[in-house]
Structure 1
Amino acid sequence: MAVPESDQYPSTSSPADAKTKRAVQQVKKRMNALARRAAGLLLSTVCLPLSALAADPQPTHEFTLDNGLKVVVREDHRAPVVVSQVWYKVGSSYETPGQTGLSHALEHMMFKGSAKVGPGEASLILRDLGAEENAFTSDDYTAYYQVLARDRLGVAFELEADRMASLRLPADEFSREIEVIKEERRLRTDDNPMSKAFERFKAMAFPASGYHTPTIGWMADLERMKVEELRHWYQAWYVPNNATLVVVGDVTPDEVKTLAQRYFGPIPKRDVPPAKIPLELAEPGERLLTLHVQTQLPSVMLGFNVPGLATAEDKRSVQALRLISALLDGGYSARISEQLERGEELVSAASTNYDAYTRGDTLFMLSATPNQQKKKTVAQAEAGLWRLLEELKAKPPTAEELERIRAQVIAGVVYQRDSITSQATAIGSLETVGLSWKLMDTELADLQSVTPEDIQKAARTYFTRERLSVAHVLPEETAHE
């Protein structure tokens, strides 16, 4: 599984400057693209059975401390390196109207000092050890991580346990940091036409659940946010019995357990507020949003309200939706590329997205930019996307097409698992949204069980007008035409 980056907000509080972070994000995007291409190349040139691509599950262990902290350890002894991650079950979908952005703002303030260290000192300690560290917030979770030498794991634990137990939240630091967050929102969303359009689209597409809330928060809420609100948010959610500690790398479960007990064990558990699963209306009715923004190219977004793995009654349909996403947008031979881009020259770019690993109901999304050189319109691009969906509903894919797409998806999963950070992130996100890390080791078999008829059934069930949100994003100069 992969964690989507679109709704995640990495911290801007660590010492790395903005330029470096942008470079890191670009590298990650290029690596993801290379992974997809490598997967396709691998499977187009080497005829291997899919079972040969799946390595035996790595030794993985779990235990829970007396204070409720769950610990998952996955051994990977290829290099003397370890990744440590602490995941809290709280994100923007937990927030209420008028208090949006609390989870992300608290993530920033977690770097501003605790009982043992002052503002920024923990980051300096880790930097001097040659460690990589950062944090990110999403709809469903907030996570903090360090990648460092195996013999320095205790340092990461000590620093994380200290801020779990004794975050300071100084008012003067908050006053400065909230201005950083507001500027972050301006740069990423308010001054970014397509990001702003997607934010509005998401608010429309989730009429009933907390997923309509932007992770960074609405600007009006940031303007009136008080440090006391963050203090209450921290006290409510940042407790060991609402967290998961994930360690992957050159370690043994016994040494991790000893260190976890030493540093996290003394932190007392506390009751946490009840958290409602973000269930969405199954068929809210078709919704249309037209936005005029400062962009040169028009585009269209389609989103269908669908379940994720945590909420689906039919788990096989979730894997079918994953394969449909790849079937439509899985490279050069995928249907969007073959039919709409090269064949009809209807769109110049298009994509799909489906995140199955969410705490609540989610979206299956398609987006496209009409081919301006051929004078194609947003309405024509939308009709082209619909035609591909109707084809899936009318006729299942051939066994050969499904096997090709399935092999590509599985190869991509296996390729991604080569990274200890990706392994840790998969474990942490699964555990935090209410699933089990053990799904990592059954994921390939689940994908292999999907039949062409399952693809057709999922398309017929979920790609309906009653589940649809549509956004037409148009250049401002066309607003009065």
Structure 2
Amino acid sequence: MRTRTLAALPFAALIVLVLLGLVLGRGGSLTAEPLPDTFRLSNGMDVLVIPDHRAPVVTHMVWYEVGAADETPGKTGIAHFLEHLMFKGTDKIEPGQFSRIVARNGGQDNAFTHYDFTAYFQVIAKDRLPLVMEMEADRMINLKLTDAEVLPERDVVLEELRMRIENEPAAELQSEMNAALYGDHPYGRDIIGHKAEIAALGTGDALDFYNRFYTPNNATLIVAGDVTAEELKPLAEKYYGGIAERAPTFLRKRTEIVSPAEDKRVTRRDPRVEEATWIRFYPAPGYAGAGAERGAALDVLAQVLGGGTTSRLYRALVVEQGVATAVSSWYEGSRLDGGKFGFYALPQVGGDLDAVETAVEGEVARLLEEGVTDEEIERAKTVIVAGAVYARDNQRTMAYAYGEGLMTGMSVEEIHEWPDRVREVTKEDVLEAAKSVLAGTHSVTGELLPGGRS
């Protein structure tokens, strides 16, 4: 299995990844450090260099500005399917050998598909950087596909869908909730695609998608690690600069997100479920749409409400009222067209979801009425900024933070300065952000219950 798409994960795992994204992903480089170097090759490929000289290791990433939300209707799943197929080989590399070559040289590699981008990466010793650059550039232009490779991989993707969604009641619930929240917008469907449409994809579909979108003028190269822009530029020009534009730069034309006109509720019963789960989504802008100040305020709001054992929701629902065993809130802003603000709670064994819902709503109402305290906001900001500091210990996290931000509408400067934006958030900013998302808007509530399948 080549990737772990966020929409295909069990909900508990999704919560963990989203919270890590908030704490670690934003601001992977602190403003005390210089801005990463950027330049553009003559064929339109953008390049970002993030120096980190603590070890002779580099993380090499190529990001394509195309994802599951850019698929042609009736061809859902093709972005993720092609991600799998990119490992099938070229004239120079036999099918299935790409990852083996990386591993033989002491490295690791993988790829991932998002609604707004698809990316490929290798983590490897600095002296092997030219090798992976040559290999990645080769498959950008020379991918070879036949039915012999494509059709068996299609079965692999279908099995992934069964395992990650159909066999995970929480993921099925999340799929229905996203459809209710986003409506006809592509964010309302799973990244992996619709089962019947995946089953109909063929070699021609994959090659058409590849030839249209996998072109250097639609790609960004990010290299983090023991390298400087002066060292990387000649390598980038050597391996990527000679690739000609194969298609026009992609200009997105998506339908607008229409927020729910009324509160919605999705209830699923499943015999595989042992304990009930309560979830709620509110429509919210993405980081790019919110702007730096409001986006940072939404991050702080999520931390204050449900960011750990000192949060309002945990103290109220778990410690004081005893109606829940776990509760959290999060802001998912890494979406180009619009994100969401979410809540998640597990009731006490044998507990009542209605009691959990009432308690969450009570805490939200209290915050909207009273605002937040100085102590709460300072503690939340400290946690988020500290996470940004710790992110520097993970080279791949730094590279991912910049790539994800750039692919979802942020600038290098906004990503770099995120810790400062968080530090500047005031109580008034948090209250205003809370009112904009949690007051006067319609939510989608999900209930996952034990019992007969529904």
Residue in 1 that maps onto 2:317: 340
The 8 Å contact of residues 323 and 347 in structure 2, kept in 1 or not, is answered as yes
Task: Indicate whether 1:433 and 2:432 are aligned.
Answer: no
- 1:365 counterpart (342, 353, 356): 342
| 1:158-201, Cα deviation, whole Å (9 max, x unpaired) | 00101101111221111110111111111111011111111121
1:143 paired to 2:142: no
- Percent identity between matched residues is 32
Query: What is the CA-CA distance between 1:467 and the residue it aligns to?
Result: 2.8
How far has the Cα of 1:221 moved from its partner? 1.1
Return structure 1 stretches of 4+ with deviation > 3 angstroms.
none
Asked if structure 1 preserves the Cα contact closer than 8 Å seen for 2:307 and 2:329, the reply is no
Which structure is richer in relative contact order (CA contacts within 8 A, separation 6 or more)?
2
Contact 1:169–1:227 at 8 Å: present in 2 too?
Answer: yes
The letter of the residue matching 2:276 is: P
Corresponding position: 1:234 with 2:233: no
Q: Which amino acid aligns with 2:412?
A: W
1:63 aligns with 2:39: yes
Is structure 2 residue 395 aligned with structure 1 residue 410? no
Which residue of 2 is the match for residue 15 of structure 1?
none
**Which of 296, 304, 308 pairs up with 2:274?**
296
> Please, which of 226, 238, 243 is the counterpart of residue 267 of structure 1?
243
SS at match of 1:358: coil
Q: CA deviation at 1:438?
A: 2.1
Counterpart for residue 222 of structure 2:
246
Q: CA deviation at 1:208?
A: 3.7
How far apart are residue 301 of structure 1 and its match?
A: 1.2
Question: In the alignment, which residue of structure 2 is the partner of 1:73?
Answer: 49
1:372-406 CA distance string (max 9 Å, x none): 2xx43112211111111111110111112110111
CA distance in 2, matches of 1:315, 1:281: 23
Structure 1 gap segments, 5+ residues each: 11-21, 40-52
* 1:299–1:473 Cα contact (<8 Å) kept: yes
SS at match of 1:211: helix
TM-aligned CA deviation for residue 407 of structure 1:
0.5
Tell me which amino acid in the other structure corresponds to 1:301.
I
Q: Which amino acid aligns with 2:448?
A: V
Alignment partners' CA distance in 1, 2:171 and 2:312: 26
Instruction: Quote the residue 1:125 is aligned against.
Output: 101
Quick one: distance in 1 between partners of 2:141 and 2:43?
12
Residue matched to 2:179:
203
Q: Which consecutive residues of structure 2, in runs of 5 or more, have no partner in the other structure?
A: none
Per-residue CA distance 1:114-139 (angstroms, 9 max, x = gap): 13211012222111110111111111
Distance of aligned partners of 1:282 and 1:187 in 2 relative to their CA distance in 1, 3 Å threshold: closer
Taking the TM superposition and a 5 Å limit, the aligned residue runs for 1:276-287 are: 276=253, 279-282=256-259, 284-287=261-264
In the alignment, which residue of structure 2 is the partner of 1:308?
A: 286
Pair 186,478 (structure 1): closer, same or farther in 2 beyond 3 Å: closer
Aligned residue number for residue 429 of structure 2: 454
Give 1:245 deviation, angstroms.
0.2
Relative to structure 1, is the Cα distance of residues 316 and 284 closer, same or farther in structure 2, using a 3 angstrom cutoff? farther
Counterpart position of 1:376: 351
**Hey, what's the Cα distance between the residues in 2 that align with 1:319 and 1:473?**
31
TM-score (norm 2): 0.91
Query: Which residue identity is paired with 1:60?
Result: P
Alignment partner, residue 139 of structure 2 = 163
Instruction: Say which is worse superposed, 93-102 or 252-261, in terms of deviation.
Output: 93-102
Q: Distance in 2 between matches of 1:405 and 1:71?
A: 34
Aligned-pair RMSD on alpha carbons?
Answer: 2.4
